[in-house]
Amino acid sequence: MTPTSIKKIGPKELKFVWDNGHESIYTLERLRDMCPCASCSGEVLLLHAYRPPEPDRTTPGRYDLKGIEQVGSYAVQLQWADGHGAGIYTWDLLLRNCPCPQHSPAGKN
């Protein structure tokens, strides 16, 4: 699935409408906290795991979305007011983390 529309709805939510008609509404806090970049989520490089420290969730601008840029035909990159913007959110990642009851296991929200 791919989105046909991505819109900021209100000051704290982003809405994706997918090509099958499904709608996913994410809070900006949820999107920022699930950032998939290595600095936020960690990575394994040459058999060594990097685990980032817990982020400071009080950093000014952390949850303020400043821009959205499409990456190829498979993802978006979000730019945050705190200067962070390395995370590439693939369509698969977004759907796996969709907050709706259809995609979210109980208690995941």
Model confidence at 87, pLDDT cuts 50, 70, 90, reads very high
CATH of the domain at 50: 3.30.2020.30
Pairing of strands 48-50, 65-71: unpaired
Model confidence at 104, pLDDT cuts 50, 70, 90, reads low
Is residue 20 in a domain?
A: yes
Is the pLDDT at 109 greater than 90? The verdict is no
pLDDT number for residue 78: 97
Q: What is the pLDDT of residues 56-70, one digit of tens each?
A: 888 889 999 999 999
Q: Which domain holds residue 34?
A: 3-96
Closest CA relative to residue 29, chosen from 11, 52, 6, 2: 11
What is the tally of structural domains in the chain?
Answer: 1
Is the pLDDT at 107 greater than 70? The verdict is no
Is residue 106 in a domain?
A: no
